């Protein structure tokens, strides 16, 4: 036990009353307070486990700034002390945490607290820095940024000072900007500070990126170029104790904004690490409204250790403002599984099914009766409709071919709930987990990166890959909005979605509409209560060369307009299957219920790949603040103006008018 609390039985526990905290002493973050004494900042990041700070006061100030931005107050729930009266642990909560003690007064004040769970816990580490160790962001009451000014914690005149603090110099303004950065730490071995291109030393390991001549300069040149053209370009550098580059992460504005639209399911591509490419690239990939891959960030790792992967995941999560995906997909790898469990504990972790099945020849190819084993494995994985069916088929395979002691198959079975489709039917996967035989995962950088591509060559081609991807999305947008989709049938389900969905998704849905006609028997087998059970028979292709009839159970609730098929296609792909459509059709339903119309596939939603900047925290008396904010605003104008020739001409005309107006004002002064 490294410390003893003086409050063995705390006077103030996690849910009890606590006075507003008045921090004593100076604090480096105090320079972020405006002349009025009210906290200001540029959209503080949400707290994330692993963030580190120089002092207890800095933690409080950071959380208070975040609270003001979100619209809630802060109070200290508890502080733990050693016998030397040194603080070593703390907990900050929403001001609505806990409940007030019951009062015996004749007219007690009304209860204003709600038992809100939002809080952070932090402790003093061996390196004498304070690290956040637990975070709860969700509140059980409404919060509003407008109401933040009414909280006592936001009205402090700085920390340990009564004087007004000025922000006139560029150096001080930079301190405000760097307040948005965080420190990412792995297992207490050091830290790397995330900032707009500032290099810091990091963990006490000797590994480093294997760079060839010119690679380091290529990285510097490319990142410098991106910073000039992209004001929200984000990167993090991890150096070892000798100052050598070990790990690197970066993401541009488009990727950061795209994550807001398509960040529900994210795949981590580590093929360059597993196949020993010259460029040890790790890519974060999502899928857009056309079903196309979209890049959400990149990293270079010196090694595939748990520490390196954890560092990279935390860097990416910080870049995405601490918002984890609902589902994350990786290769089957104990290192990745440990890092995901650490950084994304609430996300559902899927293992990439095609990559697992691609290993079958390597892992099982030397076995006697390999071809029969392969077919039995395929049958268990791809054609089981229920977990018990998979379990029985798997057990038959293991027993019949005497595979009980096969280590790789044992590991697959232990992880079955993360990769076998029959266990994933309740998880929305947006088409990112391929669940059919012989499907192959394509890398985002296919055609631009292979095993022999050098880092310098890759950086030269990096923009080409991004531009090609962006062009595909723009062309698909134009096709979906300007050209009608050629319907193969007059089915009302297809007519309905043709008005809403992008053409690429419609083509995939069209296969399900056509498949309705191969469902030759739809019969009701159970009609008790509100939920009716149907059995839909379809002739399906098995193993690519033979067909067999399968029965698919579909549950239908007419009251709630809910339909659920045992095949699970809706969660796998994001649109209803032929079996569910057959049941809706048989019940005279002419439109797909709204809960099955997925907004991420819609073509009528305007998606602008520009970060949304408010003018909160801008000091208009400060020239550096004015420049920074105007630059971000004008970038939004540029993004909109480039989209068409008409918009370009209107933008140029409007800018000319603004410039003439400013010149007239200047002439009057």
Asked whether residue 131 falls in the same domain as residue 57, the answer is yes
According to DSSP, the residues that pair with 143 across neighbouring strands are none
In this prediction, residue 384 carries a pLDDT of 94
d(CA 562, CA 529): 14
**What would the pLDDT profile of 35-62 be if each residue is shown by its tens digit?**
333 333 444 578 888 888 888 988 888 8
Q: Please determine, for residue 364, whether its predicted confidence score (pLDDT) is greater than 60.
A: yes
For the chain, percent of residues with pLDDT exceeding 70: 78
183 within a domain of the structure (yes/no): no
Asked whether residue 214 falls in the same domain as residue 306, the answer is yes
Q: Please determine, for residue 242, whether its predicted confidence score (pLDDT) is greater than 80.
A: no
Q: Where is the domain boundary, 295, 317, 352? A: 352
d(CA 597, CA 601): 8
d(CA 152, CA 159): 14
**What would the pLDDT profile of 172-182 be if each residue is shown by its tens digit?**
322 222 233 33
User: 2-11, 423-432, 659-668: which range is least confident on average?
Assistant: 2-11
In this prediction, residue 408 carries a pLDDT of 95
Asked whether residue 487 falls in the same domain as residue 571, the answer is yes
Q: Give the chain's radius of gyration (CA, Å).
A: 29
What letter would DSSP give residue 141?
S
Mean pLDDT in residue range 310-317:
93
The two three-digit tokens of residue 315, written as one number: 């860097």
Chain-centre distance for alpha carbon 289: 16
Domain count, the chain: 4
More confident residue, 43 or 142: 142
According to DSSP, the residues that pair with 328 across neighbouring strands are 266, 349
In this prediction, residue 643 carries a pLDDT of 80
CA angle 392, 434, 414 (to 5 degrees): 40
The two three-digit tokens of residue 391, written as one number: 């379990």
d(CA 429, CA 447): 26
d(CA 578, CA 514): 8
Name the pLDDT band for 144 (thresholds 50, 70, 90).
Answer: confident
Name the pLDDT band for 101 (thresholds 50, 70, 90).
Answer: low
151 within a domain of the structure (yes/no): no
d(CA 342, CA 184): 13
Residues across the chain = 669
- Mean pLDDT computed over every residue of the chain: 80
In this prediction, residue 175 carries a pLDDT of 29
Asked whether residue 584 falls in the same domain as residue 637, the answer is no
Residues 6+ positions from 338 with CB-CB distance below 8 Å: 306, 309, 310
User: 238-242, 300-304, 383-387, 534-538: which range is least confident on average?
Assistant: 238-242
Asked whether residue 522 falls in the same domain as residue 647, the answer is no
Asked whether residue 580 falls in the same domain as residue 487, the answer is yes
Q: Please determine, for residue 351, whether its predicted confidence score (pLDDT) is greater than 90.
A: yes
In this prediction, residue 666 carries a pLDDT of 66
In this prediction, residue 280 carries a pLDDT of 94
Burial of 415 (0-12, 13-18, 19+ CB in 10 A): middle
From edge to edge, which strands make up the β-sheet containing 119-124? 52-53, 130-136, 119-124, 87-94, 74-81
Mean pLDDT in residue range 15-37:
34
Name the pLDDT band for 27 (thresholds 50, 70, 90).
Answer: very low
More confident residue, 511 or 195: 511
More confident residue, 41 or 400: 400
In this prediction, residue 21 carries a pLDDT of 36
CA-to-CA dists, residue 368 to 235, 364, 365, 371, 407, angstroms: 51, 9, 8, 9, 16
- CA pseudo-torsion sign 458, 460, 463, 464: negative
Asked whether residue 301 falls in the same domain as residue 339, the answer is yes
Asked whether residue 212 falls in the same domain as residue 280, the answer is yes
More confident residue, 477 or 1: 477
In this prediction, residue 628 carries a pLDDT of 63
Q: Please determine, for residue 551, whether its predicted confidence score (pLDDT) is greater than 50.
A: yes
The two three-digit tokens of residue 356, written as one number: 């697992």
367 within a domain of the structure (yes/no): no
Name the pLDDT band for 593 (thresholds 50, 70, 90).
Answer: very high
Q: Where is the domain boundary, 352, 375, 406? A: 352
415 within a domain of the structure (yes/no): no
Q: Where is the domain boundary, 307, 326, 352? A: 352
In this prediction, residue 667 carries a pLDDT of 65
User: Considering only CA atoms, which of 289, 222, 233 is closest in space to residue 258?
Assistant: 289
Residues 6+ positions from 369 with CB-CB distance below 8 Å: 401
d(CA 416, CA 431): 19
Mean pLDDT in residue range 572-576:
96
User: 6-10, 574-578, 598-602: which range is least confident on average?
Assistant: 6-10
Q: Please determine, for residue 276, whether its predicted confidence score (pLDDT) is greater than 60.
A: yes
Where do the H-state alpha helices sit in 56-169? 56-70
CA-to-CA dists, residue 481 to 16, 81, 444, 475, 484, angstroms: 57, 63, 25, 10, 8
442 within a domain of the structure (yes/no): no
545 within a domain of the structure (yes/no): yes
SS3 state of residue 200: coil
In the block, which residue shows the tokens 């069916």?
A: 389
Give the DSSP per-residue string, 390-441.
HHHHHHHHHHHTT-TT-HHHHHHHHTGGGT-GGG-TTS--TT-S--STT--P
Burial of 234 (0-12, 13-18, 19+ CB in 10 A): buried
Q: Please determine, for residue 14, whether its predicted confidence score (pLDDT) is greater than 50.
A: no
364 within a domain of the structure (yes/no): no
Name the pLDDT band for 22 (thresholds 50, 70, 90).
Answer: very low
User: 12-16, 204-208, 309-313: which range is least confident on average?
Assistant: 12-16
Q: Please determine, for residue 24, whether its predicted confidence score (pLDDT) is greater than 80.
A: no
Cβ pair 230, 240 in contact under 8 A: no
375 within a domain of the structure (yes/no): no
Asked whether residue 253 falls in the same domain as residue 213, the answer is yes
According to DSSP, the residues that pair with 553 across neighbouring strands are 535
Asked whether residue 597 falls in the same domain as residue 649, the answer is no
Name the pLDDT band for 526 (thresholds 50, 70, 90).
Answer: confident
In this prediction, residue 574 carries a pLDDT of 95
Mean pLDDT in residue range 259-273:
94
In this prediction, residue 40 carries a pLDDT of 39
Asked whether residue 134 falls in the same domain as residue 228, the answer is no
Asked whether residue 131 falls in the same domain as residue 234, the answer is no
List the domain range (segments joined by +) for residue 74. 51-99+112-141
d(CA 451, CA 415): 29
Mean pLDDT in residue range 347-354:
95
Name the pLDDT band for 201 (thresholds 50, 70, 90).
Answer: very low
d(CA 381, CA 384): 6
Name the pLDDT band for 195 (thresholds 50, 70, 90).
Answer: very low
- CA pseudo-torsion sign 586, 589, 595, 600: positive
Mean pLDDT in residue range 228-257:
87
């Amino acid at each position: 036990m490294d410390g003893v609390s003086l409050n063995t039985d705390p006077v103030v526990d996690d849910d009890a009353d606590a006075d507003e905290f008045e921090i004593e002493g100076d604090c480096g973050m105090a320079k972020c307070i405006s002349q009025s004494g009210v906290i200001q900042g540029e959209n503080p990041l949400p707290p994330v486990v692993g963030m580190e700070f120089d002092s207890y006061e800095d933690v409080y100030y950071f959380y208070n700034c975040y609270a003001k931005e979100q619209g809630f107050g802060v109070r200290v729930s508890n502080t733990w002390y050693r016998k030397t009266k040194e603080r070593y642990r703390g907990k900050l909560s929403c001001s609505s945490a806990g409940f007030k003690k019951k009062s015996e007064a004749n007219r007690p004040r009304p209860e204003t607290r709600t038992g809100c769970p939002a809080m952070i816990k932090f402790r003093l580490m061996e390196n004498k820095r304070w690290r956040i160790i637990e975070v709860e962001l969700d509140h059980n009451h409404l919060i509003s940024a407008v109401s933040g000014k009414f909280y006592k914690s936001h009205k402090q005149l700085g920390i340990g000072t009564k004087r007004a603090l000025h922000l006139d110099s560029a150096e001080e303004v930079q301190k405000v900007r760097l307040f948005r950065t965080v420190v990412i730490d792995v297992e207490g071995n050091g830290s790397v500070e995330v900032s707009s291109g500032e290099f810091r030393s990091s963990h006490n390991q000797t590994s480093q990126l294997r760079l060839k001549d010119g690679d380091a300069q290529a990285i510097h040149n490319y990142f410098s170029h991106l910073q000039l053209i992209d004001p929200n370009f984000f990167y993090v550098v991890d150096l070892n104790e000798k100052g050598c580059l070990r790990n690197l992460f970066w993401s541009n504005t488009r990727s950061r904004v795209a994550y807001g639209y398509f960040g529900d399911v994210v795949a981590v591509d580590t093929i360059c690490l597993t196949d020993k490419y010259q460029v040890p690239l790790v890519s974060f990939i999502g899928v857009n409204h056309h079903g196309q891959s979209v890049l959400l960030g990149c990293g270079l790792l010196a090694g595939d250790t748990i520490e390196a992967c954890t560092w990279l995941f935390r860097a990416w999560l910080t870049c995405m403002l601490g918002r984890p995906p609902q589902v994350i997909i990786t290769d089957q790898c104990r290192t990745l599984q440990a890092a995901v469990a650490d950084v994304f504990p609430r996300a559902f972790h899927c293992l990439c099914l095609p990559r697992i099945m691609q290993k079958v020849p390597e892992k099982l190819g030397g076995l006697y009766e390999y071809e029969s084993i392969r077919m039995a494995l395929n049958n268990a994985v791809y054609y089981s409709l229920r977990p018990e069916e998979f379990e029985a088929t798997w057990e038959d395979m293991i027993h019949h071919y005497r595979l009980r002691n096969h280590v790789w198959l044992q590991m697959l079975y232990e992880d079955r709930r993360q990769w076998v489709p029959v266990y994933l039917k309740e998880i929305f996967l947006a088409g990112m987990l391929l669940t059919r035989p012989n499907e192959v995962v394509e890398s985002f950088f296919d055609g631009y990166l292979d095993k022999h591509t050098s880092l310098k060559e890759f950086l030269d081609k990096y923009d080409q890959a991004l531009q090609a991807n962006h062009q595909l999305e723009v062309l698909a947008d134009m096709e979906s909005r300007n050209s009608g989709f050629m319907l193969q049938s007059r089915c009302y389900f297809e007519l309905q979605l043709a008005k809403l969905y992008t053409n690429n998704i419609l083509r995939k849905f069209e296969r399900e509409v056509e498949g309705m006609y191969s469902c030759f028997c739809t019969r009701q087998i159970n009609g008790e209560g509100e939920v009716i059970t149907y059995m839909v028979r379809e002739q399906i292709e098995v193993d690519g060369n033979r067909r067999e009839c399968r029965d698919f159970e579909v549950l239908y609730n007419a009251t709630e307009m809910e339909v659920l098929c045992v095949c699970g296609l809706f969660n796998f792909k994001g649109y209803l299957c032929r079996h569910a459509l057959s049941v809706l059709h048989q019940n005279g339903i002419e439109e797909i219920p709204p809960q099955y119309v997925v907004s991420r596939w819609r073509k009528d939603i305007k998606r602008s790949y520009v970060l949304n900047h408010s003018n909160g925290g801008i000091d208009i008396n400060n020239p550096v603040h004015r420049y920074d904010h105007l630059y971000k605003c004008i970038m939004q104008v540029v993004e909109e103006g480039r989209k068409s020739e008409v918009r370009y001409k209107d933008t140029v005309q409007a800018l000319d008018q603004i410039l003439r107006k400013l010149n007239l004002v200047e002439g009057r002064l």
